[in-house]
Structure 1
Amino acid sequence: MLKQSIFQKFNRDFQNEDDCRQFLFDIKWEGGFVCRRCSHTKFWKGRTEFHARCKNCDYDESLTANTIFHKIQIPLMKAFAMSAHIVNCRNGISALDLARLYGVDEKTAARFRLRCQDAMQAWFLDEVREKENEKHSTMDGITLMHRGENLNGLQKMDVTLEQYSANDGLKMVISKSTVSMPGAIAPCELMAGSYVGEIKDIRIWNFRKWMEGTHHHCSPAYIGKYEHEFYFRFNNRHRLKEIWHILIRSIMRHKPPILHGQAA
């Protein structure tokens, strides 16, 4: 679970909703205000203290407009703590556990996780430069659901592990998993006790253990989201003290690719 020191920092830095709003406001406009409608650079206070109203065209932009937090409906203090749990729990935390811990329903927790995963993916795309190499392997013993009748359960997937150069000079990796046999199940040899294939990269195996241990199963349509969550933590393993701030900055600097059903 979340380390006690992180709880203490949150309680000290974010004592109410306005503390959270001010933190996001400072991130959103730290490079200066630019109106999204007319590109004017001067503003005054809008409908609330945390709205920015353009002095030229009168466009009033809310704090979370045009960010991945667009139309978020859960309190920001709760959103901050939930996102901290997602990035700081070593073994991850399921949507069900998030829901129980923070008093929201499971669908709301799942939609909020998707927002965070979108921000993690956007951060990765911002940071990487050139692909340096890729490795092809398999991942056995992953539970897939929502494939269709007689296609669910433990099975094998094909995996491509890609390594990129990054803006900070470090290396970054991401895996891309696909169903091995569309229209059929690639049998799980681990369950049969006959698995002899080689997982030549421990990161693929660690992702498989993380998925099965915390999340238990996944739809093929969303496994890429979970890969970005897992490798976001891996690629930031040397800056764990800053990892939550990295996530929040990405949330505030990117638009949502889609609105996941009703807002979380």
Structure 2
Amino acid sequence: MFTEFKDTSLLKFIDYFDSDQVCLNYLAKYKHSKEYECKKCGHRHFWPGKKMGRVCKSCRYSESVTANTLFHKLKFNLRKAFYILFEMSTTSKSVSSIVMAQKYEITQKTAWLFMSKVRRAMSSSGQFSLTGQCEVDELLSGGKRKGKTGRGAANKEKVAVVIEKQGKTGVKRMYALRIANFSTEQLGRLFSKHISPEAEITTDLWSGYKPLKKVYKITSQKSDPGENFNLIHRCIQQLKGWLRGIHHSVSGKHLQGYLDEYCYRFNRHSSKDTAFDSLVQRMIMHPPVPKKMLDQLYCLST
């Protein structure tokens, strides 16, 4: 009988997923949970295929369990893929692709590619907007450089961040979005994707937020370190520390993937036991992402 894995214990995980076949069965339960429809001809009847796959009775198209998912054309065994998913979803900080490659005896390039696909599954759908008390701020990523500091700094990646507060000292959810600049148009992308017009939002006095007050309930305050914006400043510092400490250097074109990974774990800090199972389902439901498509998916114009 199929039982969802809901735990954060590595020992229990190893005992549960002790073979590739167990991992394959786990994927099949989710992929086959919906009514069958052939990807090529739309026929709704099939024969059981090899390794839990299905064969269309009309056009004879054979579809494996991993086909048309983010596990498509996996370059190493499925058990290793599950271990990587477990680490990325349940550990506090995960690890870099270099360390992941060493741990699971694959190349760094292969580890990075698969982890990048996992980050696609970790990205927010934007369907559950924040509705409570929120704070919005921005950060610059890219290390120390000569020249201007703050919003006028050149050659740095720009990120808009929102948190939903939980009580006076807690954070319920957090989202981060890479933006091209600090204009109203770019900041508005964060608002439209993650914040409900019902939310009560606090920002600093940056002029880019002013036009957004026509749609959102925004209160602007002067930023006074130690006196206000303490929660979001702490979240931003932790995010920047994770990027520097674990990954050291992240290219701008793939930065959004790392932001999605961080927020996926952060937003499940009180339900880590279900994070792995949820991620497996996302991997199954997401269409394949070839390497050449990764850059396009994180285009700033979207």
Please indicate, yes or no, whether the TM-score normalized by the shorter chain is above 0.5: yes
* 1:136-179 superposed Cα distances (whole Å, 9 cap, x missing partner): 534256439xxxxxxxxx97543312469xxxxxx643111346
Q: 1:163, 1:115 → 2: CA distance?
A: 25
The AA in structure 2 aligned to 1:216 is: H
| Structure 1 match to 2:127 | 128
Q: 2:266, 2:130 → 1: CA distance?
A: 17
1:104 to 76, 96, 106: 106
Q: CA deviation at 1:135?
A: 5.5
Q: 1:141, 1:235 → 2: CA distance?
A: 21
Q: CA deviation at 1:41?
A: 2.6
| Structure 2 match to 1:52 | 54
2:21 to 18, 21, 32: 18
User: Does the CA-based 8 Å contact 1:139-1:156 persist in structure 2?
Assistant: no
Spell out the pairing of 1:87-98 with structure 2 (5 A cutoff): 87-98=89-100
Q: 2:139, 2:77 → 1: CA distance?
A: 38
The AA in structure 2 aligned to 1:94 is: S
Q: 1:155, 1:88 → 2: CA distance?
A: 33
- 1:159 maps onto 2:159 in alignment: yes
Spell out the pairing of 1:139-154 with structure 2 (5 A cutoff): 139-140=139-140, 142-143=142-143
Query: What TM-score do the two structures reach when normalised by structure 2?
Result: 0.66
* 1:69-127 superposed Cα distances (whole Å, 9 cap, x missing partner): 11112100111111111122212211111011111111111111101101111xx21x6
Distance change >3 Å, CA 228–CA 73, structure 1 → 2? same
Q: CA deviation at 1:45?
A: 1.5
Query: What TM-score do the two structures reach when normalised by structure 1?
Result: 0.75
| Structure 2 match to 1:225 | 257
Distance change >3 Å, CA 212–CA 179, structure 1 → 2? farther
Distance change >3 Å, CA 71–CA 141, structure 1 → 2? closer
Q: 1:134, 1:239 → 2: CA distance?
A: 21
Distance change >3 Å, CA 155–CA 237, structure 1 → 2? farther
| Structure 2 match to 1:174 | 175
User: Does the CA-based 8 Å contact 1:143-1:218 persist in structure 2?
Assistant: no
1:247 to 253, 258, 279: 279
Q: CA deviation at 1:68?
A: 0.9
2:68 to 50, 66, 79: 66
The AA in structure 2 aligned to 1:111 is: L
Q: 1:177, 1:37 → 2: CA distance?
A: 37
Q: CA deviation at 1:13?
A: 1.7
1:204 to 207, 212, 236: 236
- 1:36 maps onto 2:39 in alignment: yes
How many residues are matched? 227
Distance change >3 Å, CA 173–CA 239, structure 1 → 2? same
Indicate the SS of the match to 1:97.
helix
Distance change >3 Å, CA 130–CA 14, structure 1 → 2? closer
Q: 1:222, 1:104 → 2: CA distance?
A: 21
Q: 1:9, 1:93 → 2: CA distance?
A: 20
Query: Which protein shows a greater Rg?
Result: 2
* 1:213-263 superposed Cα distances (whole Å, 9 cap, x missing partner): 11111111111000000000111222100101111110001103x3116xx
Q: Cα RMSD (Å) of the superposition?
A: 3.1
2:12 to 5, 9, 12: 9
User: Does the CA-based 8 Å contact 1:120-1:232 persist in structure 2?
Assistant: yes
